Each structure stands twice: as C-alpha cells, then as structure tokens.
Structure 1
C-alpha cells in the first residue's frame, strides 16, 4: 500500500511538473541555429518565422548562423546542446539528405533530434538558358537527345536539385553530366550567362533572371503550380510524375527535449505558419506553407530520410 501511494504521489508530481514546465517555458531567449550563411533560403525562412515566434512565446527568438560542412557544423552544435528548448535547429531537406551521401556525418538526423514543425515545401524548377532553341519541356527533351552526348547541368552536389536532375534523366532518357557548384547563386548566374545550359533549382533562385529574360523555366516539381509561376506546368502535368524532388524547411530540437516543450513550440509554429503575412512572405520566396505539428513532422522526417537514402544508392550519389 505504501509503495502504491508513493508511486501515485510520484506520478502526480511528474504530471504537475510537466504542466508547469509547459506553462513556464520559455523564461529566457531562445536561439535558433541556421546551419548556413545569411541570406540563403534557410536563413530567410528562419527570420520570417522567428520574428513572429517572439510574440507567441513572449521571449526573444534569435537566429544564429553557423555555416560550414554542408550544414553539419551548425547541426552538430544543436545536437550537442542541452535538451531544454533554448537552442533549436532550423534547416532544410538537406538535414536528411546530407547524411546519406556525405561520409562521416557525426549524427543521425532522425534519432538524434526531435521534430517540431515542417514550415514549407519548396518545389524545384527546370531552368534553361534563354538562348537555347527551346520554348517548352518537350522542345528541350528533343533538343537534348540530338546533341550526341550528355548535356551539362549545374547543381550543388547532393542537393534536391541534384536528385531532381537524376530523376529527370531517368524519366526522359536524356543523358546529362553534372557540373558541381558550391553556390546556388552561381548556378543561376551561369545559366543566365550561357555557361551551363540547364539547372534544377528553387523557384526563388530563378526569378531575377527570369524577369530579365535571360532564362526560361519550363517545368516545376511538386503537386501544384507555383503562385509565382502560374503558367509553368508541373512535371506531373507533363506526364513525368516521378520527377518529384522538392526541398523543405523545418525546426528540430535535440533528442531528450521534454515533450511539453516540444508541444509548446509546435503549437506556436503551427499558429505562426498560418498567419496571412507569413504565408505571403513564404509564397514570395517560392514556398508552399505546410505548418505541421510534431508528430506529423517526425513521421515525414523519417520517411524522407529513408526515401533519400534509397535514391542516393540508386543514383550512386556520393561526396567527393
């Protein structure tokens, strides 16, 4: 009887402690690590969300850029942080892609983190040099097959764009050769400058050059057309549903972070992602708002890690 009462007392105390933690958190500023340089898509999404999170959480939410190692340096810094909810990670689909093609990544993107919320899904576009003699996707495929060898495409190694190009090659039978880059900005500039004929990149990367008339966008991945490019068909519409690579963005906490904290953060992020000004800001950088909660994002995260691992093996995509 005494043991039973002691156990009940402990359970009641734990319940009140968890509830109190959820109500109290946060009591100081929250830092969010973006493991890439300022002004990239991850940084932009972080600043859109973090600004509004401050109102929901009642504390400053600070963006901390820790670039390097294809995102590994900043991500590992969060993994090694105290699991108390005061240092979080914001990243892209690279969070689950990098460990499947890059050697010796010192963490598991699923097991070593707790998913909080998926914020966006961002389709990739097939962008071509406007001087190519093509106006449609069908034109491009026909032109490429007449070249007598592989056509060059620019991409970041192991990126969603890299996978999109391989899926496109597989679906269309066009032979391609990867020209690896270290900067997405440089890729778009080289397509616009005629130094590389095609690329798969995020919508936002193409917009400046599209408006200048230096590139054309012939197709887009994802299930729906982009609000920024309403006249550009999806690959599914064109008969190639397998060309489905997208990038996406989300938030994670270190493994061991209390569930009450995860739930508090998840609820705040879901609310923020539905704000009209947030939705508009994300649409302007080529994204579609998702705004999922912790359980849905955890399941998605695990499924994406498995999918990209399978594709990396299928296409033999490895780091140098």
Structure 2
C-alpha cells in the first residue's frame, strides 16, 4: 500500500514537472533575452545584432538586450553564452570564425555537440580592398605586384587565425604568391591602417569596407564568394578573376547552450526567418553586401560541422598557429 502511494506521488510529481515545464515553454519569453555578441561595438556583426534584436523584440514582446563580449577569437563570448541556462534567455551571435577556432585552440567544449544551433542570419563575401598608395585595383595587378617582389605586399587581418586571415592565406596558396601578414586586434584597426596607407591589402567584412570604397578612400578589388554582390555589381569575384574554385563566406548566426527546449528553438528560428523575409531586412542586409540566410536549425548545425572540416584542412595545409 505504501509502495503504491509512493508510486502515485512520484508519478504526480513527474506530471506536475512536465506540466510546469510545458507552461514555461508556452509562455516563452516572459522576460528579456540576452544576445551575446562576440565582436566589438560598431562593427558589422554588432550592427546586424542590434537590428535583429530590435526586430525580434517587436515580435516576441520582450526586450532583446545586446551584450558585447569580445576576445580570444570570439571564444570568451561563446563560452559565456554556453555557460548560461539552456532556457532560451541567453543566445550568442557567432560568425564564420567559430568554425576556424577548433583548429587553432584547445576548446573547453565540443563545437558541434555542446551547442544548440538556432539559425543562420546572413551570409556574404569578404571584400578584398587595397590602399590608394598601393595602386592595386585588380586581382591581376595584385598577383603581379606580389610575384615581382615576394613578401613586399602587406596584408592585414583582424587577428592571427581569424577567418579573414585564412581567407587571405587561401588566396595566397591558390595564386602561388607570398605576402606579409600584419595581424590586428580587430577589423576596425586593420581598416583604419589600410585607409592610412600603412598596409596594402585587407579582406574586410563587406559592411565595414563599403562606405570607404564608395568615398574613394580605398579600392575594391574582388569579392570572395562565387557571385558578385548587389551593393558593388561592377566588382568581380576572385573566382571569375582566374581562381574558379576559390570561395570564402562570412556569415553570422545564433546559437544557444546545449539542451535548449525544441519548442524554444523552433520559436526563435521562426521569428528570425520571418524577419529575414521582410523587404526591410533584405534591403538592409543587401546594402551591407550580404544576403539574408535563414533556414532550419538542423541545416545550421550541418553547415557548422562542414565548415569546421574545411577550415581545419586549410589550417593544416598552411601551417597556421595562433599568437
């Protein structure tokens, strides 16, 4: 009899737990959501994050608060996000560099199994830009200058081992040229020095480079994706400039801690996809030289996994090590 009562109580408690859990998911969100951004304020990622945060808040009925947590190739922000409760109230905006880090750092987490992918937000090229002092305005001119005096062309990056660094090294490998790498602590500083003619070349985030290209402060040489972009239709791709197999994409997306409720992931995924389908979001993202991405959480997981393998091979082939 006592055993039967114990079983009934135990079953009732489990039922109550499930009921309250379902209620919590159904009412999600009922408080502000924190969006950790692994980049400095003012950059392309931060601008996208703040735009999407506002749009998400309008639909969800709760504030989405952006928190910048930078450092260690984005790992500081990622680790902070993954350490949060998996309840959907902390999400993290990551970029392509997330898929490079496993080849360069000893991670404290599995980059595929220990996360909850939510949705890819945008994807687009990096923009190969040169200083006015360099006089280089085409891929052919860049290669000719690099081959004439190996190592004389300086190329900037947003950091040793960043996806921008690897994209440039991949180009060097395909073009069979040698250039000198100048790593910076962030893309903003690299772009400032390019404009000041302190370096010759930079594979920049398109959104941050576009205003300076349009003002004539720097030259747009090529984009790193297979197709040209709407924002600069006259600028060729590296692929069509003689390297048909070259491609490097800069993307941004949202992840959460491992174990987020499927219903919460589906809700966030649906909200972001809805925003990305609006004319205003498409116009804004395309104006920054990218395209709305979207898709399912499963597709985002597969994309992350595939890119980890691709960049891992590049790192191994080129022999890059972090500072």
TM-score when normalising by structure 2: 0.89
Deviation of residue 200 (structure 1)? 1.1
Deviation of residue 180 (structure 1)? 1.1
Deviation of residue 151 (structure 1)? 2.3
Per-residue Cα deviation, 1:95-125 (whole angstroms, up to 9, x for no partner): 22223213x3322221111100000113111
**Counterpart of 1:238?**
241
Secondary structure at the aligned position of 1:280 is classed as helix
**Counterpart of 1:255?**
258
Secondary structure at the aligned position of 1:237 is classed as helix
**Counterpart of 1:293?**
296
**Counterpart of 1:79?**
82
> Alpha carbon RMSD of aligned pairs, Å?
2.5
Which of 138, 141, 144 lines up with 2:143 in the alignment? Answer: 141
C-alpha separation in 1, matches of 2:294 and 2:150 = 46
State yes or no: 1:180 paired with 2:161: no
C-alpha separation in 1, matches of 2:161 and 2:92 = 20
**Counterpart of 1:218?**
221
Deviation of residue 148 (structure 1)? 4.6
State yes or no: 1:208 paired with 2:214: no
Which of 30, 33, 36 lines up with 2:33 in the alignment? Answer: 30
Where in structure 2 are there 5+ consecutive unaligned residues? 1-7
Native 8 Å contact 2:130 2:202 kept in 1: yes
**Counterpart of 1:122?**
124
State yes or no: 1:193 paired with 2:213: no
Native 8 Å contact 1:117 1:252 kept in 2: yes
Matched pairs, number: 314
The structure-2 alpha-carbon separation of the partners of 1:83 and 1:148, relative to structure 1 and needing over 3 Å to count, comes to closer
The structure-2 alpha-carbon separation of the partners of 1:59 and 1:143, relative to structure 1 and needing over 3 Å to count, comes to same
Deviation of residue 213 (structure 1)? 2.1
C-alpha separation in 2, matches of 1:214 and 1:88 = 37
C-alpha separation in 2, matches of 1:137 and 1:219 = 7
The structure-2 alpha-carbon separation of the partners of 1:310 and 1:12, relative to structure 1 and needing over 3 Å to count, comes to farther
Per-residue Cα deviation, 1:159-218 (whole angstroms, up to 9, x for no partner): 222111111111111211211111212212222222111121111232233233232111
C-alpha separation in 1, matches of 2:15 and 2:279 = 41
Secondary structure at the aligned position of 1:279 is classed as helix
**Counterpart of 2:100?**
97
**Counterpart of 2:268?**
265
Larger mean CA deviation between 44-53 and 139-148 belongs to: 139-148
Which of 42, 46, 51 lines up with 2:49 in the alignment? Answer: 46
Native 8 Å contact 2:49 2:93 kept in 1: yes
**Counterpart of 2:5?**
none
Per-residue Cα deviation, 1:12-59 (whole angstroms, up to 9, x for no partner): 999977765543211211111112221122211111111111122222
Deviation of residue 135 (structure 1)? 3.4
Secondary structure at the aligned position of 1:59 is classed as coil
Larger mean CA deviation between 140-149 and 49-58 belongs to: 140-149
Where in structure 1 are there 5+ consecutive unaligned residues? 1-5
Deviation of residue 277 (structure 1)? 1.3
Native 8 Å contact 2:156 2:203 kept in 1: yes
TM-score when normalising by structure 1: 0.90
